Amino acid sequence: MFLFLMSLPPVVTLLLSTNCSLMANTNCIMQLVLFLLTANLPALVTGRMSYVDIAWPWGLVTIGLTPLLSGAQWPFQLGFDRATLVMVAYLVSGLRMGLGALVMAAFGHLNKELPRYLFQRRRWAKKGITDENSFMYKATMQKEILVQCLSNMGCLAMPLLVQTSGYLTGPLTWLEVAGWAMWTGSILFEHAADQQKLNFAQECKKNKLNNATCDVGLWRYSRHPNYFGEWMVWNSLVVTTIPSILAMWQEKQENTLTMICLTLGVVSVSWAMYQCLVNYTVQRRPDYMKYQDTVNMFVPGRRKQGGGKGE
């Protein structure tokens, strides 16, 4: 319930904003339809939450197209400007994960619950929610999916909606240029980590190795380098949004309460993604204790000699 309540203020802020309301309304409608068709209904029928892995990234694609679909950026002029850059960033991130999710579905990987959602089931079990056929179990699953839908409507849409709402005009600032350089490095880092994990899995399958721990490349320095890269992608989007927030305050383009909420909403993107990745996605596996003792969980760092779990 806490996450549900925390997800609502950014949505309300965007809907009530003078500059963002048109795109926010369009995005809310599209996210609701998308999640209903690709996550809520499939989860209700199959009892599996793994379909969120389809809905969430394609929701990012939808956010990336929102300025066009709402008419806010139409006619659209493709160029090296903040609107184009942030739209492309969402499309790249969404398509990279979304197409991968469709491939997983095509090969039957969604026919069973993915490990990170099994981890969530263990969290529910601690609250006594164990009967998969009960109303409470199904309602809890639907609520968890709705929280992600609300995140796509509000918190995760903040960087794009703020940067494309006209608060800041003119050429890119130096902070924006630095932020986009940071974004490029982060997306490449994340992709490299995912590719290394995929290559390792294929090699294990070829050599018929079961339950092997990936300890190659970036995985030698972090137990979840792909998640760290994803977090840094969102941090870079926060950085590129700061100049637009500053311009909004300097020119008083919204009422004071809205400006405070938009500012807090943009800053909260980093915190929200960290909480999601570390506390709701990372699994505490008991079968690779030595790896845990020598390699940081999240932020890449120097390997230890043993005896410490890292950050």
Least confident of 112-121, 189-198, 206-215, 297-306: 297-306
| 150 close to 142: Cβ distance less than 8 angstroms | no
Residue 190 buriedness (CB in 10 A; 0-12 / 13-18 / 19+): buried
Average of per-residue pLDDT across 294-299: 79
Kindly calculate the radius of gyration of the chain based on its CA atoms and give it in whole angstroms.
20
- Is it the case that residue 292 has pLDDT exceeding 90? no
Q: At what angle do helices 82-106 and 52-69 cross, to 10 degrees?
A: 150
Is the peptide bond prior to 57 cis by the omega test (within 30 degrees of 0)? no
Q: How far is 254 from 261, CA to CA, in rounded Å?
A: 11
Percent of the chain with pLDDT over 70: 91
Q: How far is 106 from 123, CA to CA, in rounded Å?
A: 29
Q: How far is 65 from 90, CA to CA, in rounded Å?
A: 9
Residue 32: count of CB within 10 angstroms of its CB: 16
1 falls in which pLDDT band (50, 70, 90)?
A: low
- Is it the case that residue 159 has pLDDT exceeding 80? yes
Q: How far is 193 from 232, CA to CA, in rounded Å?
A: 13
Average of per-residue pLDDT across 207-217: 82
Least confident of 19-23, 29-33, 95-99, 123-127: 123-127
Sorted by sequence, the CB contacts under 8 Å of residue 76 that are 6+ apart come out as: 67, 68
Sign of the alpha-carbon dihedral angle for 104, 105, 110, 116: positive
CA 285 to chain centre: 22
Cα angle 217, 218, 222; round to 5: 135
Average pLDDT, the chain: 89
The residue ranges of DSSP E strands in 66-143, in sequence order, are none
Average of per-residue pLDDT across 147-168: 95
pTM for the complete prediction? Answer: 0.90
The helix (run of H) or strand (run of E) holding residue 101 is: helix 82-106
308 falls in which pLDDT band (50, 70, 90)?
A: very low
Six-digit token string for 121 = 């089931």
3-state secondary structure of 30: helix
123 falls in which pLDDT band (50, 70, 90)?
A: confident
